[in-house]
Structure 1
């Protein structure tokens, strides 16, 4: 689908105010701009500055700043999920809903033919009277939608939801592998938490998916096809797949300071670790993880937020840690260029929380994958990679959920040791799947997505 047909097609985007959502929306915007679509992308003012470098088509993609009102319960100046601990997310949802008037005033002025959104369940209420079609674009795995957010999962409103309610997959769920185990079911209970004024997370997301004209998921039929078909049957809607939607090449080079640091080490020898922009570890667990990296004897590059109770990352370091690892260890609290780091020849392993963005970036890299999931959808992503596709290893936890330094070190060594049969098996499977999800296939997904957009709007 070339630019000639799409050049007058204007799309409005409005994702949830978290970088794990805003970044893949921008990746999708870049792909659509390549096809000639014009996009107005509304996001918090602070995010405009941070995401502008990822805007590959500023002539077609306009990042529109939205003023996020202050809500009692939020720290001053908080605009995105990265600005707050996860237990304050409810208040950020309230703030996002308070932008509705501004969004409602903006949409008629830009006259889009299509709106792509996720958590703002009220978008279809604005769009439908104006004759504008809507797509609810989900940037989480299909398994998390299929297990948690399908209508067949009848969450009762007249009593608190229990673990027993969530312990079994919903009727008709097609996978026997991508499931939660035992105590992990507790991680699903977040769906009953308030997520805005007078609305739970489950209600918000299911309403967003019920009201739209079409559903879309950032995944591939080759990996989650049965789950996507199940979701479509549950909602009675077309499910459009975009594939990972990641840039096919990194336009911006890795910062020189990190390039120089990584270049000191042998090819494939460095461990890279990042747990995303939101999750904050307890201090003792943070220290235990650092000691686990030290225990491997390998060089490591770790990007984490300061743990709870620590103003800086340095003050939380274990005693003597810097002196013992200064020649081979780097631990910092700042945003880093993860795709470029994973593409560096010296990096051979990623240790991550398995958020869906990190999952895809590690999936498409040549690195071995070690996973420490924290929340429900991350656990399901881990089940997909470690149990179903067998391209990753999950670090064993103690019964209380603790990650011991020995377990972390052993998991890393099991995939990094060149003589490890287990590591060789993972690498072979990883290579097979990465070759399957090739650039040509991704182009095909985007061509089909563009065709579906035209059909949706023209029907």
Structure 2
């Protein structure tokens, strides 16, 4: 009997944005290491970001491949080459991009009719994936790129609408029904939650929610020990199946894999390592705000001034897509000379996992994107929290109030990928960085973060909570495949 006829075949359809694509590709690689045949569907330009890694896995015997279909830039009214959400620069472009994702239904369905996979794992933004899977009689697993606390919180917001019962944007309310007392204000939620009037996004968000609620279940890049109460809440109160299989970044074992995760670094990994190797353990703070943030020159100036005054060793990733790229407009006079040897500035993409995992790194200033949060947790480093948009204010609550490994910088308003209208001042940045790196409280946070880092690594090892969760999911999918044959 042909062994391949029995082999489970799973399709992965990652949303074209770094925070979705990177973890879902890592997840696909984990599936293939468990003997699953894996097909990742994306566009040619996005495929180049991880094709080297996939080729390497194939050489080691993984049954994993990429199928590509063109991105409908022209049909969507987007410039040629705008195939990733990170390439959009205005809310109008973002809207066009999200609408363009609906044009993938036909080519993906055609691929699936040819390949007859047993399951489809698709990003939330592909709401139609649940319909295609139903048509083909296979389960669709939803992946929305975040953890379980935010997913549970959004569910409670939808059900109880506490944000509509307060008088002002800044008045705090408790989100009812959650395992922990979590207070939020409307200013920290996206406009969709604050203003219940219909917007162009309203029907799309409703479609996402319908697709998530009718999917076979959810698969998350998290681990049980990180948010046990929310694993339970999602299963028992929200009433949906969920499998936690993270942190998926830990499937990158060697330095080459860690440095190539996402795209090529602007500074070679060797230069980063050489610089870090000259530093004392836990002495360096790493500052990075993810792949989508756009900071003003005023805000960059405040950060630079605080770092100069902090006396801390640091690596600072400054994205080239800042709203003002003219360096002299924001960099304090003589800044690079003054911090020479003490600070390393990377302009562009950085090998984040490699930097966080280095023993010299002792803290992380982050926008609280879920991937960055998990990478910080996995490396055992405490964090300064600087949320911007998406679900990041909920992630801040997890780090600061529940895990107690975070120091808030003081952001009070949700701001769609950019810094708030009023820059966070240098005093607040300096205070948070110092609290994270110096003194008794810093040492206690370091201890808690180190323990969490060990739990994260154990979770993905054989017999760990995430490994067991993945094995049980694959078992369920195999049973479903054999009963439908």
TM range, smaller chain: 0.7 to 0.9
What is the match of residue 262 of structure 2? none
SS at match of 1:215: strand
Alignment counterpart, residue 384 of structure 1, candidates 398, 403, 424: 398
The Cα of 1:320 is off from its aligned counterpart by 2.8
Distance 2:453 2:337 in 1: 39
The answer to whether the aligner puts 1:216 opposite 2:219 as a matched pair is yes
User: 1:186 offset after TM fit, Å?
Assistant: 5.2
Deviation at 1:89, TM superposition (A): 2.1
Question: Which one of the candidate residues 190, 195, 207 is aligned to 2:210?
Answer: 207
1:176 matched residue in structure 2: 181
Does residue 117 of structure 2 align to residue 112 of structure 1? yes
> 1:237, 1:33 → 2: CA distance?
25
Measured after TM superposition, the shift of residue 364 of structure 1 is 1.1
Q: Residues 193 and 93 of structure 1: is their aligned pair in 2 closer, same or farther, counting only changes over 3 Å?
A: farther
* 3-state SS in 2 of match to 1:117: strand
Change (3 A) 1:383 1:294: same
Counterpart Cα distance in 2 of 1:63 and 1:172: 42
Q: Among 453, 471, 477, which residue is 1:447 paired with?
A: 471
CA spacing shift, 1:298–1:285, aligned 2, 3 Å: same
Aligned residues of 2:301 and 2:332 also touching (Cα < 8 A): yes
Alignment deviations for residues 4-62 of structure 1 (CA, whole Å, 9 cap, x no partner): 79972111111211110111111111111111101110122222111224435234221
- Identify unmatched segments of 5+ residues in structure 1: none
Counterpart in the other structure of 2:425: 404
Mapped contact 1:89–1:195 kept (Cα < 8 A): no
| Runs of at least 4 residues off by over 6 Å | 4-7, 161-164, 190-198
Match of 2:317 among 303, 307, 314: 303
Judging changes above 3 Å, is the alpha-carbon distance between structure 1 residues 186 and 238 closer, same or farther for their aligned structure 2 residues? closer
Aligned residue runs from structure 1 range 10-409, under 5 A: 10-55=9-54, 57-58=57-58, 59-70=62-73, 71=75, 74-85=78-89, 87=91, 88-118=93-123, 119-149=125-155, 152-153=158-159, 168=173, 172-177=177-182, 179-181=183-185, 183-185=187-189, 189=193, 199-201=203-205, 203-233=206-236, 236-253=239-256, 255-306=269-320, 308-311=322-325, 316-397=330-411, 402-409=423-430
Contact 1:163 1:189 in 2 (8 A): no
Alignment of 1:404-443 (within 5 A): 404-417=425-438, 420-439=439-458, 440=461, 441=464, 442-443=466-467
* Contact 2:285 2:315 (8 Å CA) reproduced: yes
Residues 109/397 of structure 1: CA separation in 2 closer, same or farther (3 Å cut): closer
Name the CA shift for 1:226/1:348 in 2 (closer, same or farther; >3 Å): closer
Deviation at 1:413, TM superposition (A): 1.6
8 A Cα contact 2:285 2:313, kept in partner:
yes
TM-score (normalizing by structure 2): 0.83
- How many angstroms does 1:168 deviate by? 4.9
Give the drift of 1:208. 2.1
Q: More displaced, 367-376 or 333-342?
A: 367-376
Q: CA deviation at 1:443?
A: 2.7
Distance 1:154 1:143, change over 3 A: same
Distance in structure 2 (CA, Å) of the matches to 1:457 and 1:21: 27
C-alpha distance in structure 1 between counterparts of 2:360 and 2:450, whole Å:
18
Q: How far 1:447 sits from its partner (Å)?
A: 2.2
Show CA shifts across 1:304-331 (max 9, x none): 3236432455664233322322332222
Moved more, 351-360 or 284-293: 284-293
CA contact (8 A) 1:210 1:235 kept: no
Q: Is the 8 A contact 1:295 1:406 kept in 2?
A: no
The Cα shift of 1:234 comes to: 5.5
Distance in 2, Cα, partners of 1:292 & 1:47? 36
User: How far off is 1:355 after superposition?
Assistant: 0.6
Q: Distance in 2 between matches of 1:371 and 1:446?
A: 30
Deviations 1:378-434 (A, max 9, x none): 1111110111010121113479753211221221122212xx111112112222323
Conserved? CA contact 1:370–1:412, under 8 Å: yes
TM-score normalised to the size of structure 1?
0.87
> C-alpha displacement at 1:64, in angstroms?
2.0
Indicate the RMSD between aligned Cα atoms, in angstroms: 3.2
Q: How far apart are the structure 1 equivalents of 2:217 and 2:436?
A: 41
Q: Aligned residues, how many?
A: 448
